[in-house]
A and B are shown apart, each in its own frame.
Chain A
Amino acid sequence: MDISSLPEFDPFSMLGMERRPWLSADAILTAFRDRARRLHPDAPNGSASEFAQLTAARDLVLNPASRLKHLAEFHADCPGGSGPTTSPVAADLGFEIGSTVRHAEQLLAASEGKSGLDRALAIHAVKSSDLRMEELETQTAQLLRDLEFDTQALDAAWPERGTTHDLISLSNRWQYAQRWHDQVRKARFNIKSWLPQRMQSATQESIKR
């Protein structure tokens, strides 16, 4: 029922782009804008339906994870199994991010705690947690850059030496890396939004005493 799951939905041709693993974001957006000018409901021959399909196409092709997965679904190839979804190093990173973010959550909640000492300790811990998360964010950013490189490498050998397995494996790696990157960025943003206030009220509380 969803546009993007209909078999006739072809995001690449909708954007006039080649079906390949790596595409430049600028090229995709330029293609999108050219067509958006014509298809937007406000344009003389535009329609809401076609425009909605166009933005769905843009989103699918822009995101490497969904682009690669889509390619895999349409790539006629010998089945190569699903293979590893992520490297052990990356998996460790993901695990650490998950637990660090959760820990920071708890600390931030504790920074509103009853005891002054609890609050101070929690706030200290949140700050060092954030320092660690800054390092983790650098790592996920690097992971994404590595994936970009690997995708370009796959693209260079395309289509002669690309398999469905390669596409799916790369797609999964992108999905995880994006998820972890978003997770740590969001956690850091939340800390940045709430910590100053918590620190201020904790300070005021201790001044009162």
Chain B
Amino acid sequence: MIAGIDLGTTHSLIGVMDSGFPILIADESGARLTPSVVHFPEDGATLVGRNAAALLASAPERTVFSVKRLMGLRKDEVADDFPFAIGAAPSGEAGVCIDDTVLLPEEIAAQILMKLKSDAERATGGVVDRAVITVPAYFNDAQRSATKRAGELAGISVERILSEPTAAALAYGLDRLGESSRVAVYDLGGGTFDISILELNQGMFEVKSTHGDTHLGGDDLDRATRDWLAATLQRDVPREEARACKEALSIAEDILIDGKMITRSDLDGVWLPIIERTRSHCAQAVFDAGIEFGDLDAVILVGGATRMPTVRQFVAGLFQREPDCSQHPDEAVAIGAVIQAGIIEGGVRDVTLLDVTPLSLGIETFGGLMNILIPRNTTIPVKRGEMFTNAVGNQASMQINVLQGEREMARDNWKLGTFDLAFNPAPKGQARVGVQFEIDANGILHVLARDIATGAEHVVQIESAVNVSDASVEQMVGDSVEHAFADMSERIFTETRIKAEEMIPAIDTALEKMGSAIPEAERTRITALVADVKAAIKNENTQRLKKLLTELDDATQDLATLLLESLMND
């Protein structure tokens, strides 16, 4: 039996298929939601869930919440302010300092998974050691791998890492299998925002595009509420009170606190700028899917924050339709995970899920450019091959930088890692190694290298240089829109410059060989143009450079003809 697990920022859930229906499992107190909180007492057993959450206020340094925000990050990438101490593991990864140890996020998450596992085993009377675990859609390679490791540490074999909005779409579409429609899933959770566009076609769920923002969720709305309340009420406001106020204003238009009337529209002033941040991601996802907002049949809301009328109104305005609130905001993702578990087990037939990779994958090439091998929103699993050859004779190896991101220049993208490609000794251009980049159904990269001459294949270990952080992923996708223009001109200039730099020595050689055979006027013109080209490169003037290269082409026609003729006569 494979379980489905939603390992959320704020809450976690576990479920299994029962007689063909996805069922969520309750803990000993009957609750299906387990707070994603872990308490490490000085003595005694670690506490997980409700019992741990009860100690958030009294033991903040030893009670860890929102550990999902730390998964796959290096210490220097952690942007949040936590009441518990953040430290670095020996390899640089972010972790939580408890006593003298730095606990990795996956170790802490494993505690949560172990509790879910034991709840499920108690409820089903069986062994639960295989599961599907969900992650935000744009979680990168490092974050997905960390989530997988958390499962393994908990004694669970992770059958699939599944994107949260995709899971929610599964829950939505399960009783609409005969239909064809195009939907958006707007998932605003405790810590993260995801938007995915999917096509549903007779049981086939195809993701067309996906975007997101890691540091955007209910937590941010809570913080803004807290700050506003503190200023208005002129006192300290605990996190829990701010959250309760936010939730109360989802049901009522106004409430009384300290004798003051606090209205929903008061707080809209601080909530709306935060919710506005989802707009550009939605626009980008719709554009990437090649559609307009009006082409969607439904926008499905998922995540606790979507209970807020302010959020619902925003979504209605952006998508020009009333959002679909048919899915349980806290449970839909877990239900979807259970359905995916059912698909893998074979119990759920007639449903196929085609997901995509959220970030472009590429390598650094000549000139510092990013060469995209697998564009974002490519259906996974996907394999792409590249052939590499030695640039100099007897070259022993070549370092390949693997990157994720949308920027034109390699240095502006995220270094997923590097690997060394070994060449057998051979003259320049004759050693050939094929490299296959595979992004599997979990969205995780595997690299395979094959020596063309011997046919020997081996799995390439990627040295992770810098882990891609949540904030950086979101920033990356946002940045790339902003920088699309700047990047493109830089790229065009670089490509033109490379072309020019290749032309110049060739012209020098040609002039040496055949210069005397052309009229002096032509020789002078060519030499002058070459000098102009060099100046244009120095001034980084793309337009001028392009124009000059065209003129140079023209000016060297005769030279070229003579050279060809001379070759034929040799």
B489 close to A33 (CB less than 8 A): no
Contact A2 B346 (CB under 8 A): no
Query: Does B155 reach chain A (CB closer than 8 Å)?
Result: no
Q: Mark A178-209, 1 if CB is under 8 A from B, else 0.
A: 00000000100110111000000000000000
Name B residues whose Cβ lies closer than 8 Å to a Cβ of A.
201-204, 280, 283-284, 287, 343-344, 346, 352-354, 379, 381-387, 434-436, 438, 440-441, 450, 452, 481-482, 484-486, 488-489
- Give the Cβ gap from B275 to chain A, nearest Cβ, in Å: 16
**B344 contacts A42, C-beta separation under 8 Å:** yes
Q: A48-B438, A48-B440, A105-B489 are in contact. Are A42 and B386 (CB under 8 A)?
A: no
Cβ-defined partner of B436 (8 Å) among A1, A5, A190: A1
Q: Which residue of A lies closest to B383 (CB)?
A: A52
Other-chain residue from A3, A40, A49, A108 in contact with B385 (beta carbon distance below 8 A): A3
- Chain B residues within 8 Å of A190, by CB: 481, 484-485
Q: Is the CB of B441 within 8 A of A1?
A: no
* Cβ contacts under 8 Å, B346 to chain A: 44
- A binding-site residues for B, Cβ under 8 Å: 1-3, 5, 33, 36-37, 40-44, 48-49, 51-52, 55-56, 102, 105, 108-109, 186, 189-190, 192-194
Please report the C-alpha to C-alpha distance between residue A37 and residue B386 in the assembled complex, in whole angstroms.
Answer: 28
| Residues in B whose Cβ lies below 8 Å from that of A194 | 481-482
Which 10 residue pairs of A and B lie closest in terms of their CB atoms, listed nearest first? A1-B434, A1-B385, A2-B385, A105-B485, A48-B381, A52-B383, A55-B379, A37-B352, A42-B343, A33-B204
Q: Which single residue of chain A is at the shortest CB-CB distance from B159?
A: A42
Q: Are B381 and A33 in contact (CB under 8 A)?
A: no
- Which B residues lie within 8 Å of A105 (CB)? 485-486, 488-489
* With A37-B204, A189-B287 as contacts: A51 and B485 at CB distance below 8 Å: no
The answer to whether A3 and B383 touch across the interface, beta carbons within 8 angstroms, is yes
CA–CA, A155 and B245, complex, Å: 66
Assuming the contacts A40-B354, A41-B381, A52-B382, asked whether A33 and B484 have C-beta atoms less than 8 A apart, the reply is no
With A1-B450, A37-B352 as contacts: A52 and B484 at CB distance below 8 Å: no
A-side binding surface: helix, strand, loop or mixed?
helix
Least CB distance from A92 to B in Å reads 17
Query: Could you show 27 A-B contacts with beta carbons less than 8 Å apart?
Result: A1-B386, A1-B434, A1-B435, A1-B450, A2-B384, A3-B383, A36-B204, A37-B203, A37-B204, A40-B353, A40-B354, A41-B381, A42-B343, A48-B381, A48-B440, A49-B383, A51-B381, A52-B381, A55-B382, A56-B383, A105-B486, A105-B488, A105-B489, A108-B485, A190-B481, A193-B280, A193-B481
Interchain nearest-CB distance for B344 vs A (Å): 6
Across the interface, name the chain A residue whose C-beta is closest to B343.
A42
> Which residues of A have CB within 8 Å of B384?
2
Alpha-carbon separation in the docked complex, A40 to B346 (Å): 13
Complex contacts, A42 vs chain B, CB 8 Å: 343-344, 352-353, 441
| Residues A41 and B382 in contact, CB atoms below 8 Å apart | no
A44, B345: Cα distance in complex, Å: 9
Rounded to whole angstroms, the CA-CA distance of A85 and B353 in the bound complex is: 40
B434: chain A residues within 8 A (beta carbon):
1
Q: A1-B385, A36-B204, A52-B383 are in contact. List 7 more A-B contacts (CB 8 A).
A: A1-B435, A3-B383, A40-B354, A41-B381, A48-B383, A55-B382, A193-B284
